[in-house]
Amino acid sequence: MLEDDSFQQRVYQIVAAIPYGHVTTYGEIARLAGSPRAARQVGGVLRRLPAGSKLPWHRVINRKGSISLPGDNLKRQRDALAAEGIEVSDEGRVSLSRYRCQW
DNA sequence: TGAATGACAAATT
DNA sequence: TAATTTGCCATTC
């Protein structure tokens, strides 16, 4: 487990590397993880993420720059992004050209 | 072991 | 141009 090079572990590390005040897309994370077509699995990992995780999962959004979370979770992420100085629309949409991390 | 699921993305109509 | 459908790949049941 310590040196687990599974996809889940990689996504975990990549998301943890997202700088404050910046966001990234699932596809980008998937590509950095080594599977450009595994964007869904990135979301799948975050979906299984425990509530007490230190991961800034709220900095991960879809290609359209919107939050894909349903219901209350979406509101939670929107609040978390706003707390980092990121302006989010009522629909949970963010300006990718402005906040997207360029690595 | 096999089939189903899913916090996306790209291609097509 | 916008909306809809299909494909993908790792994890879960």
Range(s) of the domain holding residue A90:
7-99
- Look at residue A2 and tell me if it is in a domain: no
- Look at residue A79 and tell me if it is in a domain: yes
A44 touches strand C (CB under 7 A): yes
Instruction: Quote the pLDDT of residue A1.
Output: 58
Phi-psi region of A21 (alpha: psi -120 to 50; beta: other; left: phi over 0): left
Number of domains in chain A: 1
Quick one: A46 exposed, middle or buried, by C-beta within 10 A (0-12, 13-18, 19+)? buried
- Look at residue A30 and tell me if it is in a domain: yes
Instruction: Quote the pLDDT of residue A55.
Output: 95
Output the domain CATH number for residue A28: 1.10.10.10
Q: What is the pTM of this model?
A: 0.93
CA-to-CA dists, residue A101 to A25, A54, A58, A82, A95, angstroms: 9, 19, 14, 16, 11
Å between CA of A64 and C1' of B13:
21
- Look at residue A12 and tell me if it is in a domain: yes
Digit-by-digit pLDDT tens for chain A (103 residues) are: 567 789 999 999 999 999 999 999 999 999 999 999 999 999 999 999 988 899 999 999 999 999 999 888 999 999 999 999 999 998 899 999 999 998 8
Strand B nucleotides in reach of protein CB atoms, 7 A cut-off: 5-10
- Look at residue A32 and tell me if it is in a domain: yes
The token duo for A95 is: 């300006």
- Look at residue A1 and tell me if it is in a domain: no
